[in-house]
Structure 1
Amino acid sequence: MNSDAETSARRTYSYLGPAGTFTEAALAQVPEARGQNWHTVNNVPEALADVVDGRSDAAMIAIENSVDGGVSTTQDALATIPGLRIIGEYLVPVQFVLVARPGTSLADVHTIAAHPVAYAQCLDWLGAHVPSHAHLPASSNVAAAVEMLDGTTQVDAAIAPPGIVEHHHLELLGENIGDNPNAVTRFVLVGRTVAPPAPTGADKTSLIVELPVDRPGALLDMLEQFATRGINLSLLASRPIGDALGRYRFVVDADGHVLDERMADALLGLRRFSPKVVFLGSYPRADRAIVHYPDRYADEVFVEARDWLRALISGEPEA
Structure 2
Amino acid sequence: MSVIATLGPKDTFSDMATRKYMDARSMSAELVYFPTLKTTFNAIGNTADFGVLPIENLSEGYVQVVLDALMSTELAILDEVLLPIKFAFVSSCQDLSELEHLYVQFVAHGQCSEFIEGLPDVTVHNTQSNMESLAQLQGRKNVGAVIPHHALSHWQEQGLVIDNVTDYAHNQTRFLVLGRAPKPYDENVPYKTTLVVRDDHDKPGVLGSIITAFSNRKINMTSIMSRPTKSQLGKYHFFIDIEGHCTHPDIAQAIAQINAAYRVKVLGSYPIQNANLY
- Give the TM-score of the pair, scaled to structure 1: 0.78
* Stretch deviating more after TM superposition (89-98 or 218-227): 218-227
Q: Structure 1 pair 246/127, CA: closer, same or farther in 2 (3 Å)? A: closer
Would you say 1:157 and 2:130 are equivalent positions? no
Q: Tell me the amino acid that sits aligned with residue 15 of structure 2.
A: E
User: What does residue 305 of structure 1 align with?
Assistant: none
Would you say 1:244 and 2:232 are equivalent positions? yes
Would you say 1:286 and 2:273 are equivalent positions? yes
User: What does residue 32 of structure 2 align with?
Assistant: 39
Written as runs of structure 1 = structure 2, the 5 A alignment for 1:268-279 is 268-274=256-262, 276-279=263-266
User: What does residue 11 of structure 1 align with?
Assistant: 2
User: What does residue 51 of structure 1 align with?
Assistant: 44
- Where structure 1 has 5 or more consecutive residues not aligned to the other structure, the ranges are 1-9, 290-319
CA deviations on 1:115-174 (whole Å, 9 max, x unpaired) are 24323332433456x4443322222222121122265xx761100111222445355611
2: CA distance, partners of 1:50 / 1:116: 21
Q: Structure 1 pair 155/253, CA: closer, same or farther in 2 (3 Å)? A: farther
Q: How many pairs align?
A: 273
2: CA distance, partners of 1:33 / 1:19: 20
Aligned with residue 135 of structure 1, among 104, 112, 124: 124
Q: Tell me the amino acid that sits aligned with residue 71 of structure 1.
A: V
Aligned with residue 57 of structure 2, among 65, 82, 105: 65
1: CA distance, partners of 2:234 / 2:117: 39
User: What does residue 120 of structure 1 align with?
Assistant: 110
CA deviations on 1:4-51 (whole Å, 9 max, x unpaired) are xxxxxx221111111121111111221347552111112222222212
Greater share of helix residues, 1 or 2?
1
- Report if the CA contact (8 A) 1:222-1:273 is conserved: no
Q: Structure 1 pair 126/72, CA: closer, same or farther in 2 (3 Å)? A: closer
SS at 1:48 equivalent: helix
Written as runs of structure 1 = structure 2, the 5 A alignment for 1:168-317 is 169-170=156-157, 173-274=161-262, 276-287=263-274
Q: Structure 1 pair 134/184, CA: closer, same or farther in 2 (3 Å)? A: same
Q: How much has 1:278 moved relative to structure 2?
A: 1.5
SS at 2:138 equivalent: helix
* Stretch deviating more after TM superposition (104-113 or 261-270): 104-113
Aligned with residue 95 of structure 1, among 57, 67, 86: 86
Bigger relative contact order, structure 1 or 2, given CA contacts below 8 A and separation 6+?
Answer: 2
Greater share of strand residues, 1 or 2?
2
Q: Tell me the amino acid that sits aligned with residue 71 of structure 2.
A: A
- Where structure 2 has 5 or more consecutive residues not aligned to the other structure, the ranges are none
Structure of greater Rg: 1
Q: How much has 1:270 moved relative to structure 2?
A: 2.4
SS at 1:177 equivalent: coil
* Stretch deviating more after TM superposition (140-149 or 26-35): 26-35
Q: Structure 1 pair 133/34, CA: closer, same or farther in 2 (3 Å)? A: farther
Q: Structure 1 pair 68/61, CA: closer, same or farther in 2 (3 Å)? A: same
- Report if the CA contact (8 A) 1:208-1:279 is conserved: yes
1: CA distance, partners of 2:81 / 2:160: 27
SS at 1:239 equivalent: strand
Q: Tell me the amino acid that sits aligned with residue 119 of structure 1.
A: H
- Report if the CA contact (8 A) 1:89-1:189 is conserved: yes
Q: Structure 1 pair 141/272, CA: closer, same or farther in 2 (3 Å)? A: same
Q: Tell me the amino acid that sits aligned with residue 214 of structure 2.
A: F
Q: How much has 1:258 moved relative to structure 2?
A: 1.5
1: CA distance, partners of 2:134 / 2:234: 40
- Report if the CA contact (8 A) 1:20-1:166 is conserved: no
Q: Structure 1 pair 175/52, CA: closer, same or farther in 2 (3 Å)? A: same
Q: Structure 1 pair 155/85, CA: closer, same or farther in 2 (3 Å)? A: farther
SS at 2:226 equivalent: strand
Cα RMSD of the aligned pairs, angstroms, is 2.4
Q: How much has 1:230 moved relative to structure 2?
A: 0.8
CA deviations on 1:192-217 (whole Å, 9 max, x unpaired) are 12354323442100001112543542
Aligned with residue 75 of structure 1, among 67, 75, 81: 67
SS at 2:177 equivalent: strand
Aligned with residue 20 of structure 1, among 8, 11, 19: 11
Percent of aligned positions with the same letter in both sequences? 26
